[in-house]
Each structure stands twice: as structure tokens, then as C-alpha cells.
Amino acid sequence: MAKHEKFRFKSTLELIAKSRELGFDLPWSESVDALLQPALIQGIRVANRFTVQPMEGFDSDEDGMPGELAFRRYGRYAAGGSGMIWFEAASVLADGRSNPHQMMITDDTLEQFKKLTDHVRKVAEETFGSDHKPFLVLQLTHSGRYSNPGGDFQSKIFSDNPYLNPPHPPTPSPALAALTGEGEHRGVPDTRHPIPDTRYPIPVFYSDSDIDAVKAAYIHGVELAEMAGFDAVDVKACHGYLLHEMLYAFDRTDSRYGGSYENRTSFLREVLNTPSKIIKAVRLSGFDLIPYPYGFGMNSDGSAAIDLLEVKNLISEFAPMVPLWNITAGVPRLAAHVGRPYDRGAFNSPPPDEHPLQGIARLIGITGQLQQTFPDLFFVGTGYSWLRQFYPFVGAGVLENKMASFIGLGRSSFAYPDSPRDLMEKGLADPKKVCISCSKCTEFMRQGGPAGCGVRDMQYKAGGRGQKAKISNKKQDVK
């Protein structure tokens, strides 16, 4: 493991030299042209290869309506020029929200989502002309063990549950059966994940019928996404949330959702099989670095080795119905650097014992393997923000080497949403505008939002909780 270090590079070549010294061959290109090429997904034109990654802003109202700040954020993305905008996690159920200000896609919020997609298309057209129609994806979520709809882990559901005794309030969870009964807490089984720390509350076990109810909400969510004007809908299966945890419910017994590959993937299968015509997508944690049986994409010998066998089986099986895959990794609440390499961890957490370039090379390498195994599918790559103004050269190299079809930008989109536009117009990204991977956006999120860039965006510079009072969250009335 190479020592962690902060970004200090003055050129792409210096960066590439460092990656070689560390033993990774990062692709790169002298030209950013590959990023500017259009793509065609099931007959829909995508103007270029930039993707705004889903980034929760936690700025909706109690009903989950996208508010004024959401219109601002998505308007900035639209004016920034990305061909694809992957909208943040929208919960399909109130109980599955990770935050009281997380968006929700429901019958009640549908009209507001329609206004939001109209708004984004209008801003894009005004900025780039009628040829430029951003491809819009909505991510559906249920936060599973990280659900926190009340903002204080005081879930109102399962109110007859003994876990409702403070100071150990519950979160709903798929609660893998293998994880129940391992320990006891106040006379009830401790369903905490044995690998994660205990900062999070003990989750409530979800029976098959609880999961059936969530599935029905997802299926409805797919229909709502189509009605709201999205081009595609993402059935999110990553980052430790409900559907991701279900993929590694290896030891869940006597259940339609646990044990065999067939059972663990049956939720995804049924939701993706819905007759809705909208294009289906999946954001998938392709590996977790959490050993089997507590992670997906890991070798079943229990080591820390990545094993893509089941990941490939899943993609191969779902390929006929899912043309678009967005590959991420791990569970950010346990090890954020795995999926988003950084200079400084949130709340000054100790640096990981690997170099950020190692994490980036791992994400690029795994996504590349999947893209090359499934050349007809579209893969979005993750983890580029740490590369700052040099991301376009690495991203273009990835595209030229057919190691992804789109280059996803998360934190960079908060900080510098118009980097695609600068690249189109000037051929370079501006070092004064780039994300510095300081984790302030993550801190805002963990403090309850709203989340944005606390360094580059005036709207968020006041920071964290302090800004809450200053920011109006009232509903946007867009005609």
C-alpha cells in the first residue's frame, strides 16, 4: 500500500508518472476530443461523454419536493454542458429517506419533478441550442440500514418494535438474516453489520413482506420517472443502501430474497422487468473491499480480493433490459475513499492507507474490465474528481481505450458544473474552479444538508448548518 498524499501535480504527465511509480498504468490522452463525441442510447442521442453523477443536495421540503436549491443545482448542470445528468437519489418511500430533506418521487411530487426536467431541458436549450438535449436519469433509492427519515434516526415505522427505545433508535434495513442473532442488545438481536462500526443504529429486520412493499414502491417509482420526463431510471444498487445489501444477503435463510444468486437478485430482476418503456439503468457497487459474506463483488474465500464473477453474471443476465450501468464501489459511510478518493476526509478523519491514485486506478480498471466484457453496453466511470484539471486527459484516455463509455463527475459537478463547457470552448479546465476533494460537501450532507461545494460555490460558502437559516427552501414555482 502506498502512502496517502494530497494532490500536488502540475501536469498530466507528472500525474501519470506517479501512477506508474505506484504500479498502475492510468490511461490518458493528449486530446480531449473523445469526451466531446456523441453517443446513442436506444435511439436517444447523448451530446457528449460527460455525466453529472448523482449527488444528493438534501434540499427538498418535508414532502420530498425538489425545492429552489434543486432547481438552481440542476440548472447549473444543464448550463454546464454535460450530455448526461444523473439525478440524485430520490426515495420511493418516506421511511426509506436517508435525510428528512431527501427528494422523494411519489404521486404528490410528480408535477414538481416534471417542472424540474422541463427546467433542465429549457436551460440546456437556451445555452447550447435545440440540438443539445441532456439525457436525464433519475436514481431511485431506499436507504435501508441508513434510513433516517426523521433526521435523528427516530423512525416512526415499526413503532411496536423494541428498538424504538432511545438511545438506540432503529433504521429499517434488509437486515441480512446472517447478521441477526449474532449478538444481543437489550434482549433483542443485534442486526448491526459486524464489519461497520457502531455509530449507526441497530437496524430493524425486514421480512420478505416488508421487502415486497418496498418493491411495489420501486415499480411505481419506475412509472413515475417515466411520467416525469426522464429518459432513464436507475434502480440504485450501491453504497450500502437497501438493494446493494440485498445483493450480499448470502446467509439470509428461508427467504425469497436471500441465499442463492437467483434470490439475492430477484428484487432487481422484478423491478427491471416492469413493462414501462423508460430506459433502465443500474448504479452498482462493482466491488466493496468488504470481505465475503458482507460485501458484493468479493472472493468467497473471505479474503479482501475482488471477484467479479457474480457482478458479470448479473450484468450479463440483465443486459437485454439494462443498457446503461454506472459503476461505483463500496460503502461510503464505512470507507469513503474507496468510491471517492480525497485529500481530506470528512470531519478530518484519518487518511486511508492508500494513495488516491490507487483508488482511482482500481475504479477505472474494474469499470474497464466490465466495459470490455460487455462492449455493447454503456458504462459510466466514477472517481475522477480528485484528478482536478487533469481529469479530462485521463477521461479521454479511458474512452479511447474503451474502458468506459461516459466519464462521471460527482464532487466536481458541485464545484465546477461547467467544466464540460470550458473544455468545449477552450479545450482546458480551469484549475481555479476545480474540486479540491476537501469533503466539505460530505460534511454538509452528514450534518443534514443542504449539500454543495463549500469552496467554489458562494451559495454554500457559509457552510453546513449555519447556511440552513440563510437558504430558502421554499418550493420553486416554475412555469
Amino acid at 227: M
Among 59, 88, 226, 343, binds ligand FMN (CB under 6 A): 88
Q: Is 89 in the site for ligand FMN (CB under 6 A)?
A: yes
Residue span binding ligand FMN (CB under 6 A) among the ranges 121-129, 213-221, 380-388, 467-475: 380-388
Q: Is 366 in the site for ligand FMN (CB under 6 A)?
A: no
Question: For residues 28 and 386, which CB has a smaller minimum distance to ligand FMN in the complex?
Answer: 386
Among 51, 106, 112, 139, binds ligand FMN (CB under 6 A): 139
Q: Is 96 in the site for ligand FMN (CB under 6 A)?
A: no
Question: For residues 105 and 451, which CB has a smaller minimum distance to ligand FMN in the complex?
Answer: 451
Q: How far is the CB of 125 from ligand FMN (least distance, A)?
A: 26
> 204 pairs with which residues across the strands?
172
Q: Is 331 in the site for ligand FMN (CB under 6 A)?
A: no
Q: How far is the CB of 398 from ligand FMN (least distance, A)?
A: 13
Question: For residues 163 and 384, which CB has a smaller minimum distance to ligand FMN in the complex?
Answer: 384
Amino acid at 232: A
Among 155, 328, 369, 389, binds ligand FMN (CB under 6 A): 328
Q: How far is the CB of 224 from ligand FMN (least distance, A)?
A: 17
Q: How many CB atoms lie within 10 A of CB 302?
A: 11
Q: How far is the CB of 418 from ligand FMN (least distance, A)?
A: 15
Pairing mode of beta strands 44-46, 39-41: antiparallel
Among 384, 390, 406, 416, binds ligand FMN (CB under 6 A): 384
CB 441 within 8 A of CB 454: yes
Among 238, 249, 298, 398, binds ligand FMN (CB under 6 A): 238
Question: For residues 295 and 339, which CB has a smaller minimum distance to ligand FMN in the complex?
Answer: 339
CB 453 within 8 A of CB 445: no
Q: Which residue of this chain has its Cβ atom nearest to ligand FMN in the complex?
A: 410
Number of shown-chain residues binding ligand FMN (CB under 6 A): 27
Q: Is 244 in the site for ligand FMN (CB under 6 A)?
A: no
Task: Tell me the C-alpha distance between 86 and 74, whole Å.
Answer: 10
Residue span binding ligand FMN (CB under 6 A) among the ranges 62-70, 234-242, 296-304, 370-378: 234-242
Question: For residues 193 and 283, which CB has a smaller minimum distance to ligand FMN in the complex?
Answer: 283
Among 66, 323, 330, 339, binds ligand FMN (CB under 6 A): 339
- SS3 readout for the chain: CCCCCCCCCCCHHHHHHHHHHCCCCCCCCCCCHHHHCCEEECCEEECCCEEECCCCCCCCCCCCCCEHHHHHHHHHHHHHCCCEEEEEEEECCHHHCCCCCCCECCCCCHHHHHHHHHHHHHHHHHHHCCCCCCEEEEEEECCHHHCCCCCCCCCCCCCCCHHHCCCCCCEECCCCHHHCCCEEECCEEECCCCCCCCCCCCEECCCHHHHHHHHHHHHHHHHHHHHCCCCEEEECECCCCHHHHHHCCCCCCCCCCCCCHHHHCHHHHHHHCCCCCCEEEEEEECCCCCCCCCCCCECCCCCCCECCHHHHHHHHHHCCCCCEEEEECCCHHHHHHHCCCCCCCHHHCCCCCCCHHHHHHHHHHHHHHHHHHCCCCEEEECCCHHHHHHHHHHHHHHHHCCCCCEEEECHHHHHCCCHHHHHHHHCCCCCCCCCCCCCHHHHHHHCCCCCCCCCCCHHHHCCHHHHHHHCCCCECCCC
Q: Is 64 in the site for ligand FMN (CB under 6 A)?
A: no
Q: How far is the CB of 54 from ligand FMN (least distance, A)?
A: 4
Task: Tell me the C-alpha distance between 44 and 231, whole Å.
Answer: 8
Q: How far is the CB of 207 from ligand FMN (least distance, A)?
A: 27
Q: Is 56 in the site for ligand FMN (CB under 6 A)?
A: yes
Q: Is 445 in the site for ligand FMN (CB under 6 A)?
A: yes
| CB-based burial label for 431 (10 Å; 0-12, 13-18, 19+) | exposed
Task: Tell me the C-alpha distance between 335 and 239, whole Å.
Answer: 10
Residue span binding ligand FMN (CB under 6 A) among the ranges 72-80, 212-220, 379-387, 424-432: 379-387
Site string (250-279) toward ligand FMN, x via CB under 6 A:
------------------------------
Question: For residues 169 and 365, which CB has a smaller minimum distance to ligand FMN in the complex?
Answer: 365
Question: For residues 258 and 408, which CB has a smaller minimum distance to ligand FMN in the complex?
Answer: 408
Q: Is 382 in the site for ligand FMN (CB under 6 A)?
A: yes
Q: Is 54 in the site for ligand FMN (CB under 6 A)?
A: yes
Among 12, 171, 385, 476, binds ligand FMN (CB under 6 A): 385
Q: Is 60 in the site for ligand FMN (CB under 6 A)?
A: no
Binding site for ligand FMN (CB under 6 A): 53-56, 88-89, 139, 236, 238-239, 283, 328, 339-340, 382-386, 409-412, 441-442, 445, 451
